[in-house]
Structure 1
Amino acid sequence: MGSRIRENVKQIFHCFCEVSCPRPGEDHARIIDKFPYDYQEEEVLKSISKFTYPCEFEHTAIQHYSFVFTNEDSKWTFGFCRHDPKTDAAFVFLSSLPWHDTFYKLLNQISEVSQSYNPVEQRKYFLEALYICDIPTNGTLVIPWNGEQTFVSRCPNVSELPSIPENRNLTEYYSAADAHNMAAIFASLLHERRIVFVSRRLPRLSACVQAAASLLYPMHWQHVFIPVLPHPLVDYLLAPMPFLIGAPVPVFQSINRSDLAEVVVFDADTNTLQSPFDDLQNLPADVVSSLRRELRSQAMLGDGMARAFIRALVMLIGGYRDALRFHPGQRITFHSDAFVESRPSPVQPFLRKVLQLQLFQQFIEERLEMLNGGLGFSDEFEKEICLYSGRSSSRLRQQYKEWKRTVRREGTAFFKTMRNKANPAMKSAVKTVREHGREVRAACKDIRSRLRDSQLEKKSTADTNPPRPRPRLKATASYKRRPLHVTKAESRTRSESAPAAPGAPPIPPARSYRHIPALDHQVAAAMALAGSSSSSVATSAGPEETPAPAPAAGSSSSSLTAPSAGGRSARSSDAEELLREYGLDFSALRLRAGAATPDDVPSLPPTPPSTSPPSSLPPTPPATSPPRTPPLPARPGG
């Protein structure tokens, strides 16, 4: 059956009727005029009188509404009515075109012509011009009539989605139902429930039913469809098959509500929905959330509302193209399992139910018929499928973001629950641990403060009393003024004339002194020098040195000799001067055999053996050089 809209329509309307209001005591209204005059469809004419005045209703203002006939071929024929409270008659157009707004304008034009100076003739001219007019292909209906006047109106494009406020039905439905109720009614339609719209106003009633059915595009409602139910057909509300009916309040109140089992009822006057089913929750969660989000947005002007529902259908059944199978020489077929697997796993349980829906089966049959007949199709639904396929690459990222938000939200709720439901003992324990923690932190802070104060105190004391450096004796001015030079002959004579005592380590060779030895060593050297100067042994004044006499037996190994320097003997004045520099009394010393006795001079520690080779001495200065002081003895351990 596919679409319920008839195709290849040749005429704009089938019949025009003027229907009088039923008089008191009459069961139905009467047709007082029609065009064309030879229209002989008696059953249709009887139905027109029933649907034009379906029940008693108040009409204090001009009202436009529509009704629908279902023909033998299951195609719909639309009736468009105009009620004027100033007259007791209504104007009706019967057509196969679902041009609601266009026919409402035509009805207004008929009413205006009927009030002219010659209403019968003028209306006849206008209806004849309209009847013979071809279906416009450019979207604009232009009707020249009476030789001077022209009627112009825009026609709806069936390839476009209905928009607000151009589409009166959609605008009325949007103002009557909120986002949740529209989504719930949409879910009930997808489950093919028995649905009833109720209202006291016929324009609102018919508009809401027509709009709800149009939001199923590209599918079409395949069951009983009556936008305005006349009172003689009230038994349709008790039918066991699915239906979508608009019942005026007087008609709906004429039946027993207990007889309406498993019926979804929406009151368009109060925006209340009563349903024994939970159809909205049976839809996939991502489809519902996306639909609600788009319906609650502010971008409902234009085709935003219709596009929100078509995107929901794309998410549900847009994968039908993945289930089409084509083999050379055979017709294109539809594979049900491939259709279910074309969508994510959360959607698959619902898709298995969709396969059993008559409206989906008719949709697939219509698409296969077009494909096998060589006809292509490119409607808004197919365009949205392409857009959805382009966005599917980012679907995993979006799901990850939603999962992360859910985990964060549930984690926060969990911790809040644990905090609110903690028993007093747990709270007390937490408080105790927290207090002890503060005490421990305070104690640690105090210890760190004491350590820091102690370190500062030590540092302050060290700055006030710096450590005394190790005393060292610097060279005298006379020593600096008279550099020491020893000849090779002197070194050789010294080493031969002063042999070491038995068992004692050898005395290291004389060398130039970089550092001043300790005080006791200098004293011993001075004493040895003094003994050498007072000796009776005379030194020759020649250029060659005279070997020093060997020490007496039993003398200490620490006794030192001072060889003559520069070919002259050491003078006592020089020894006295040196002793005075060190604060010693020369007269108090007892000299024996040119050297200090062991009783007078403290014994020196044994000199450790030297591992370094003797350093080379500088050459003897020329005879014209100033007199030089004799070299000091080597420092023990030096």
Structure 2
Amino acid sequence: ASEGKDGASAAENTPPQLPQGKQGERSSVFYSAGQFFFEYLVVVSLKKMPDGHYEPKITYQFPKRENLLKGQKEEEERLLQAIPLFCFPDGNNWAPITEFTSETFSFVLTNVDGSRKIGYCRRLLPSGRGVRLPEVFCIISCLGCFGLFSKILDEVEKRRQISMAVIYPFMQGLRESPFPAPGKTVTIKSFIPESGTELIELTRPVDAHLEHVEFQALLQRLSPHLILHIFASAMLERRLIFLAEELSVLSQCIHAVAALLYPFTWAHTYIPVLPECLLDTVCCPTPFMVGIQMRHLQRVLEQPMEEALIVDLCEGKIIRAVGDEEEILPGKLQNEMLISLNRHNNNNNVHTSEQVNALVSEAFVQFFVRLVGHYGSHIKWGRSGSGSFQERAFCKAIASKSCRRLLKKFVKTNMFSLFIEEAEKSRIPQEGNG
């Protein structure tokens, strides 16, 4: 895992949860209802240093936590030290400005114990006259639901234009509300001076595994053909670098690529928005998926890195490839997925974002069902209830040579191993899907 400052890691590396019951239901705490919406709201502002450059610092924190145990205090300090770096990942090249289009992006921090937190960020220019510096409102939560938190940040931004004091009662009300179950809505009452009391409805998507995802962001920037090349590279756990200027584009597209792997989980270094001071991450010999601002392209290309797939999200093209991306996926399955992606691409304006998410996800889930859906019938169950996966028989059971060739590589990946480990512990043999 790639470590952020002071032990807060920016890699997303929790093991996958096996789908249980309906597709999309996962037992991970990451998706559970009833807990707090968020842990902290922090404001990160740019402070001028003696040498003239600006450095991001936390200038507001809610709630202030008292009476923490020593271990909790240390964890909080690590978290609060890492946050500013990821709120202003583009370094210290700032100067006061008069205009700035607010942007929304997110980052993932993984703690030493493997638990993960998401930072949902809105970078904006405070209201006022004359030149001023942008600031970032960052909500730290264990819950993955980008659309929901974007709506919360809309409300925070609206209140910021009135006064910081108006943000506090809204966030307090949110903190006292339980996180809704999938498909359910929670209503927050909030008073705004001169507007009166507002009712804000926050609805959680029905399908939990698509909560943090916006596949349209990928379809708008990359051809279906390139998306499949990227998917194939991610499936074989290669090194992937995505370039764009906007932080929101980087975080949306990288979350979408990781979601294409469902029900498997990317288990390596995962930094949707890589801070400038961590650019040497691209020299790692291990797999990674990172997003880097386009202004750093030359520096990235000059790094002594191993083979990697480098994707330009601005131009919708591959800058550097390993060279075999076209041959990784079996031809027949690749064509089926291309037809499916092209259909959704052409209907982009007809379908809602949720419909596009469901349709695209289904195409990739079906690919995995065709390739590995028979895994359950190749787990030998002992009397104690523990299972033992029969890898050779599993690979041999596939008739197609091209599918078998891919399968032999895929079974060696970390994501497949973690998936099978969970299956071997589940004690309930899954039905083979042929």
Q: TM-score, normalised by structure 1?
A: 0.55
CA displacement 1:250-278 (0-9 Å, x = unmatched)? 34433453523301100000011120231
Look up the match of 1:190.
235
Q: Distance in 2 between matches of 1:98 and 1:127?
A: 18
Relative to structure 1, the CA distance from residue 329 to residue 19 in structure 2 (aligned partners, 3 Å threshold; closer, same or farther) is closer
CA displacement 1:284-314 (0-9 Å, x = unmatched)? 2222121112111245631222211111122
CA displacement 1:66-109 (0-9 Å, x = unmatched)? 11112213333111111223553121101111111111110110
Relative to structure 1, the CA distance from residue 111 to residue 299 in structure 2 (aligned partners, 3 Å threshold; closer, same or farther) is closer
- Retained in 2: the 8 A contact 1:213–1:221? yes
1:366-385 matches, cutoff 5 A: 366-369=422-425, 371-372=426-427
Counterpart pick for 2:202 among 153, 160, 182: 153
Look up the match of 2:79.
44
CA displacement 1:359-395 (0-9 Å, x = unmatched)? 11111122333x23x6x99xxxx9xx85xx5xxxxxx
Q: Would you say 1:332 and 2:387 are equivalent positions?
A: yes
Look up the match of 1:614.
none
Q: Would you say 1:14 and 2:39 are equivalent positions?
A: yes
1:598-637 matches, cutoff 5 A: none
Counterpart pick for 2:371 among 316, 333, 345: 316
Q: Would you say 1:123 and 2:137 are equivalent positions?
A: no
CA displacement 1:289-342 (0-9 Å, x = unmatched)? 211121112456312222111111222221212212224444233211231133
- Retained in 2: the 8 A contact 1:142–1:150? yes
Counterpart pick for 1:68 among 102, 108, 121: 108
Alignment gaps of 5+ in structure 2: 1-13, 18-27, 67-72, 128-133
Higher CA-based Rg: 1
Relative to structure 1, the CA distance from residue 320 to residue 206 in structure 2 (aligned partners, 3 Å threshold; closer, same or farther) is same
Report the AA paired with residue 108 of structure 2. V
Report the AA paired with residue 175 of structure 2. Y
Look up the match of 2:22.
none
Relative to structure 1, the CA distance from residue 168 to residue 26 in structure 2 (aligned partners, 3 Å threshold; closer, same or farther) is same
Q: Would you say 1:305 and 2:330 are equivalent positions?
A: no
Relative to structure 1, the CA distance from residue 136 to residue 321 in structure 2 (aligned partners, 3 Å threshold; closer, same or farther) is same
Report the AA paired with residue 357 of structure 1. T
1:93-242 matches, cutoff 5 A: 93-116=139-162, 119-137=163-181, 138-146=183-191, 148-159=197-208, 161=210, 169-242=214-287
1:179, CA displacement in angstroms?
A: 0.5
1:154, CA displacement in angstroms?
A: 1.4
Q: Which has the higher strand share?
A: 2
Q: Percent identity?
A: 25
- Retained in 2: the 8 A contact 1:191–1:279? no
Q: Would you say 1:363 and 2:423 are equivalent positions?
A: no
Relative to structure 1, the CA distance from residue 232 to residue 22 in structure 2 (aligned partners, 3 Å threshold; closer, same or farther) is farther
Relative to structure 1, the CA distance from residue 186 to residue 333 in structure 2 (aligned partners, 3 Å threshold; closer, same or farther) is same
Relative to structure 1, the CA distance from residue 3 to residue 168 in structure 2 (aligned partners, 3 Å threshold; closer, same or farther) is closer
Q: Would you say 1:84 and 2:124 are equivalent positions?
A: yes
Partner SS state of residue 265, structure 2: coil
Q: Would you say 1:349 and 2:376 are equivalent positions?
A: no
Partner SS state of residue 21, structure 1: strand
Segment of structure 1 superposing worse, 153-162 or 186-195? 153-162
CA displacement 1:582-603 (0-9 Å, x = unmatched)? xxxxxxxxxxxxxxxxxxxxxx
Partner SS state of residue 55, structure 2: coil
Relative to structure 1, the CA distance from residue 161 to residue 38 in structure 2 (aligned partners, 3 Å threshold; closer, same or farther) is closer
Q: Distance in 1 between matches of 2:395 and 2:54?
A: 53
Q: Distance in 1 between matches of 2:385 and 2:107?
A: 43
1:180, CA displacement in angstroms?
A: 0.8
Relative to structure 1, the CA distance from residue 123 to residue 344 in structure 2 (aligned partners, 3 Å threshold; closer, same or farther) is same
Q: Distance in 1 between matches of 2:209 and 2:124?
A: 32
- Higher relative contact order (CA closer than 8 Å, sequence separation 6+): 2
Partner SS state of residue 20, structure 1: strand
Report the AA paired with residue 151 of structure 1. I
Q: Distance in 2 between matches of 1:232 and 1:259?
A: 16
1:522-601 matches, cutoff 5 A: none
1:23, CA displacement in angstroms?
A: 3.7
Alignment gaps of 5+ in structure 1: 390-638
Aligned-residue CA RMSD (Å): 2.6
Q: Distance in 1 between matches of 2:237 and 2:385?
A: 33
Look up the match of 1:30.
57
Counterpart pick for 1:291 among 337, 340, 352: 337
Q: TM-score, normalised by structure 2?
A: 0.79
Relative to structure 1, the CA distance from residue 75 to residue 278 in structure 2 (aligned partners, 3 Å threshold; closer, same or farther) is farther
- Retained in 2: the 8 A contact 1:280–1:288? no
Q: Distance in 2 between matches of 1:45 and 1:214?
A: 28
Relative to structure 1, the CA distance from residue 27 to residue 60 in structure 2 (aligned partners, 3 Å threshold; closer, same or farther) is closer
Look up the match of 1:261.
306
Q: Distance in 2 between matches of 1:256 and 1:6?
A: 39
